[in-house]
Chains A and B, each alone.
Chain A
């Protein structure tokens, strides 16, 4: 979504991913227990951000199903960068979010962080820092061109960032799976 009057500010909501090669672009998001990966190719000076939440407890939270959703968003980010000419070996990423917000009995944030770190490790993508964990939500701004990220911690007392229901891949309906 591009906000009127601030044409190069792109807000990334949960379950989405945005990539930009514009020097003036700023990618923003608000995180609770979700994690956002800010990934870029420092040589080309292009980058992007995703925002994901692995499904928590419950029947659908079996590790593989949950992780597949995270992998999907990470792949969207990586592929979005590669499509614009980024080189895989140049990619580096910062991670933000994964807070343990009060209402969570289980530490979903920690699971998200653990997944994101493991993904970067598996794919050989350099981890260049960020800020994860804690018990406060974050407002995040990322400039893909410079690689600078700024976060603003949200006050604990006011309202913890609500954890939206993660978008779990729905079982294939008739139209989802087309056979031919």
Chain B
């Protein structure tokens, strides 16, 4: 079994269609263990009950945006080192600057292709060892 297939990944996005497409793309890449959450609160609940190895989160979400979720993830001890990637829609440099300070591992601008996503994730997975 490939490494990716053993990893559990959490997808956080408020747009149902985006979640579906992301799941499809992740399955194409080789992930077999994919959890989804529609907002930051759900994401925290998932991470508390069934921790994942990796998190991909949309930036623009109501209630809690991607950076606020990152903050919550980093301040909760069991997930303080969980690799976290943000999907941003507007190429916002502030997200990147703020994210870096908070321990963001990678980011990807929307819209992206499946190979883009694969590359971005492999960069993080490579650094897991």
Contact = CB atoms under 8 A, between A and B. Distances in A.
B106 interface: yes
B111 A176 contact: no
Interface in A130-180: 169, 171-172, 176-180
A78 B123 CA distance: 31
Interface in B93-123: 96, 100, 105-116, 119-120, 123
Contacts of B20: 122
A76 B89 CA distance: 7
Interface of B: 15-18, 20-21, 24-25, 28, 60, 62, 89, 96, 100, 105-116, 119-120, 123
A88 B62 contact: yes
A122 B18 CA distance: 10
Given A64-B24, A79-B60, A176-B116, A72 B108 contact: no
The secondary structure that dominates the A interface is: helix
A69 B100 CA distance: 27
B25 A123 contact: no
A75 B15 CA distance: 7
Interface of A: 60, 64-65, 67-69, 71-72, 74-76, 78-79, 82-83, 88, 118-119, 122-123, 169, 171-172, 176-180
A78 B15 contact: yes
B58 to A, nearest CB: 8
26 contacts: A64-B21, A64-B28, A64-B114, A65-B113, A65-B114, A68-B25, A71-B21, A72-B89, A74-B15, A75-B15, A75-B18, A75-B89, A76-B89, A88-B62, A122-B16, A169-B111, A169-B112, A169-B116, A171-B113, A171-B115, A171-B116, A172-B113, A176-B109, A177-B116, A177-B123, A180-B105
Contacts of A78: 15
A88 B96 CA distance: 27
A180 B89 contact: no
Contacts of A178: 96, 107
Contact of A75 (B25, B110, B115): B110
A108 to B, nearest CB: 18
A179 B110 CA distance: 16
A179 B18 contact: no
Given A172-B112, A172-B119, A123 B89 contact: no
A68 B111 contact: yes
A77 to B, nearest CB: 11
Contacts of B111: 68-69, 71-72, 169
Contact of B17 (A60, A119, A171, A180): A119
